[in-house]
Structure 1
Amino acid sequence: MKYDEFIKHVQSVAQVDSREKGEAAIKATLEVVKERIVGDEAKDLAAQLPEEIAQYLRGREGENGQHFKVKEFIERVSKKEGVEPNDAVMHIRAVFTVLQNAVSPGEFASFKHNFSDDFGEVFPSLSESEASA
């Protein structure tokens, strides 16, 4: 998936009205993902994304991720993006939905294994990922 296509899909799923807001949602979400997951897994995920997006996942290779729950994940994204937590949840879900369609099924499964069950609310349901395909 190309960079512009990724942004347009995030804008659509997140229901944001500008490219800048879509880009901000992607950047904030993936920067917090980088803090949360194992650095080498972030590198593997980045390898399947456009460079403009992949850069947000790089820089922690060889490091372990920080263990924090979904509430803190949402708070961190909310703060980085400068939006309310409820909006951050929608934006995270949108980024994860588009991510699921942008990388291989095996890579997305590996990515998802980095998160505990309480993260279910920010991962796309099957119908959402099919809708954005």
Structure 2
Amino acid sequence: MQHHEFLARVRELGEYKSQDEAAAVTEAVLTVLAQRINPGEADDLASQLPEPLGQKLTEAKAQQAENFGIQEFNRRVAEVMSLVVV
């Protein structure tokens, strides 16, 4: 799947207004996910994502996975999104 196809699908499923908004949300989710999963899992997932998303995940990966639940995950994504101008 190509990058633009991936974002089009995110846009469709998330009912986002634009491709830019879908890209911002995707990058925020990957940034937080990279903190939650171990480095090996991040590398495995990154290899399956279209570029530049795979690279974004690889760059954001932590030395060691943090243990946090869905509420904290959502809070962190919202925090990252608050720093993004779409």
Report TM bin, short chain.
0.7 to 0.9
State the superposition RMSD in angstroms: 1.6
- Following superposition, the deviation at residue 48 of structure 1 comes to 1.1
Cα offset, 1:49, TM superposition: 1.2
SS at match of 1:16: coil
One-letter amino acid of the counterpart of residue 58, structure 1: T
Deviations 1:57-99 (A, max 9, x none): 11437x32000111110000011112xxxxxxxxxxxxxxxxx
Distance, in Å, in 1 between the alignment partners of 2:51 and 2:6 is: 12
Q: Residue 8 of structure 1 contacts residue 19 of structure 1 at CA under 8 Å; is this kept in 2?
A: yes
The alignment-based identity, stated in percent, is 33
Residue by residue over 1:29-49, the C-alpha shift from the partner in whole angstroms, topping out at 9 and shown as x without a partner, is 000000010011100110111
In the alignment of these two chains, the number of paired residues is 82
- TM-score normalized by structure 2? 0.88
TM-score (norm 1): 0.58
State the SS of the aligned residue for 1:9.
helix
5+ residue gaps in structure 1? 83-133
Q: Gaps (5+ residues) in structure 2?
A: none
What amino acid is the match of 1:11?
A: R
Deviation at 1:16, TM superposition (A): 0.6
In the other structure, the counterpart of 1:14 is 14
Larger relative contact order (Cα-Cα within 8 Å, sequence gap ≥ 6): 2
- C-alpha separation between the residues in 2 aligned to 1:41 and 1:64? 11
